Amino acid sequence: MNILKNKTIAIVGGGPGGLTLARLLQLKGAHVNVYERDVNKDVRVQGATLDLHEESGLNALRHAGLMDAFNANFRPGADKMRIVDKHATVLVDEPVNTTELSRPEIDRGPLRKILLESLDPDTVIWNSYLLSLTPVATGWQLQFQNGTTATADIVIAADGANSKVRPFITPLKPFYSGVTMVEGSVYDSATAAPRMHALLDGGKIFAMGDEKTLIVSSKGDGSLVFYTGSKTAESWHRTNGIDFNDRAEVKAWFQQEFPGWNDVWLELFDTCSYPLTLRPQYCMPLDQTWTAQPNLTMLGDAAHVMPPYAGEGVNMAMLDALELSQCLTNDAFADVQTAIAHYEKHMLLRFAEVAQMTLDQTASLHSANGLAGMIEMFTDAERRD
């Protein structure tokens, strides 16, 4: 029994989770469209590099038949990591992982390109920012900001933490983790920020001190991205009074918020593009649950946003896509609602475990013993190896 026979599926959101799901469903013959708010595939600069995990992100790509494309685009050596203190003293210099594809790094842009090129032509409908959903006889009508509409028998939310679809499934909202990040990018870092570029050495930096973090990642296009992390009030991103489009104000903020940090960090703010982006970090309730619906479900951050400090976000989204695709194309399920219920039960159990680990890691990194704790974690890992 094919529960998707003659059904149309709308995936809202064209990030890694949504595109992976579209690919997996198309391999099974499903009729899928992805509705993405970006005007086209090139309009938005993608963020930091992603390390894909064997049991989740890579597992999904393997089932999608995309490992050859991944192997041609991942960045050997980008998994090199340095742990430093606020004085930029290197305390742990983790070498490049030489084991086969352990947790390989890939930039978001190339990953998106791989997934987009794997889909049937015209699968992605660009410039489709969802405004509302309305139930209709055959399922749902989707209304977009550009004035167009579409109908689908099944709608799957892959539209991130501020999902427009999630409220139709559950009223549960995320809670603030206590930490806000400030994100910036430096282009052509070798020329623009040579001291930071040398310290980064083609990999990642985790800098910690005074209950704060500063994470820097290299990218394959020669740029770098950075994220400060500090404990603030939930409303700080709205009420701080700082113009994050003003270089002088931002530098003054950093020097006040990160007192005693080495001048090398100021190179980031001297050479980055403005404005910077403020990102308060949220997490869905770990015990969240809801009754499965017959034609609505969600994956990734829409279902279980969490802080990024454990590196699980994109991996969780891609594993969601794999498990949801397997449920929706499994003849053992009598109908779509039963398949969705099975997927959501296991997804929520998995989220509860990973989110707890992520919250623990977030708290640890921004504690008085954050630096010592991270060094100990890597030392223990080396002993186990």
Q: Work out the angle between the directed axes of helices 313-328 and 336-365 (0-180°, nearest 10).
A: 170
* Token pair listed for 181: 């990040």
Q: Where do the DSSP E strands lie in the chain?
A: 8-12, 31-35, 50-51, 81-85, 90-94, 105-106, 124-125, 130-136, 139-144, 149-152, 154-157, 175-186, 204-209, 212-218, 224-231, 277-283, 296-298
Whether 301 has a binding-site annotation, put simply, is yes
Whether 380 has a binding-site annotation, put simply, is no
* Token pair listed for 81: 């990591």
Q: Where do the DSSP E strands lie in 265-331?
A: 277-283, 296-298
Phi-psi region of 147 (alpha: psi -120 to 50; beta: other; left: phi over 0): left
- What whole-number distance in Å separates Cα of residue 211 and Cα of residue 96? 28
DSSP symbol at 363 = H
Binding-site residues for FAD, please? 51, 108, 301
Binding-site residues, please? 44, 51, 108, 301
Binding-site residues for NADPH, please? 44
